[in-house]
Structure 1
Amino acid sequence: MIAGIALDAPPLHGLICRQFESPDRRDIVNKNMTAGEAAKLQRFLRNKLNPDMAVQCRNRPDECAEIHIGDECLGVVAKIIDEGETSYAFEITILDIDLEEL
């Protein structure tokens, strides 16, 4: 765990978003992401990483958004507010069986 962020990730078929909070840092929290923020993140990711990336908000407002390329979910992105500054944490899970396919 680094700065209250859990580094272990569930398999892609059951992605969940964890609270980004630690007992000693109550100001680091997972906040709901608006559709406008998701659209800005999507433009950023398409520009910087892959033009086919899509950001999809989840149904529950207390969850993070999913990052997709086509039908495949690559990971999740969470909104973090720390000391009044907002950032976004992108967590990707790569299964060892996926590496064998290359």
Structure 2
Amino acid sequence: MADITPSEVKRLQTTLQRLLGSPKLTVTAPTRKGMSVEIAVAGELIGTVHRDEDEGEVSYAVHITVLEEDLPAA
């Protein structure tokens, strides 16, 4: 797993805001090397982004966590 550059963080934020329709979404670089890049909406952490490079092709995996306590009542 490779580290995500500051340029990639900015580009990921722009792309995810567009794809998910939320200008309140932020992508934050880790404070220490090797840590995960975090995704938040309106300041609430919702997931992480991981970078993968295989045979010269780069991809990003987005992992979003939703707690059951955050779901509306059935």
Shorter-chain TM-score tier:
0.7 to 0.9
Matched, 1:68 2:40: yes
Summarize the alignment of residues 34-53 of structure 1 with structure 2, pairs less than 5 Å apart.
34-49=5-20, 50-53=22-25
TM-score normalised by L of structure 2: 0.88
Matched, 1:77 2:49: yes
After TM superposition, the runs of 4+ consecutive aligned structure 1 residues lying more than 4 A away are: none
For 1:101 and 1:78, the matched residues in 2 are separated by 32
For 1:71 and 1:101, the matched residues in 2 are separated by 23
% same residue: 36
Structure 1: segments with no counterpart, 5+ residues: 1-29
What is the Cα-based RMSD across aligned positions, in Å? 1.5
TM-score normalised by L of structure 1: 0.65
More strand by share: 2
Q: Secondary structure at the match of 1:97?
A: helix
Q: Secondary structure at the match of 1:31?
A: coil
The structure with the largest alpha-carbon Rg is 1
Structure 1 position 101, deviation (Å) = 5.8
Work out whether residues 32 and 62 of structure 1, in 8 Å CA contact, stay in contact via their aligned partners in 2: yes
**Equivalent residue, structure 2, for 1:98:** 70
Work out whether residues 33 and 61 of structure 1, in 8 Å CA contact, stay in contact via their aligned partners in 2: no
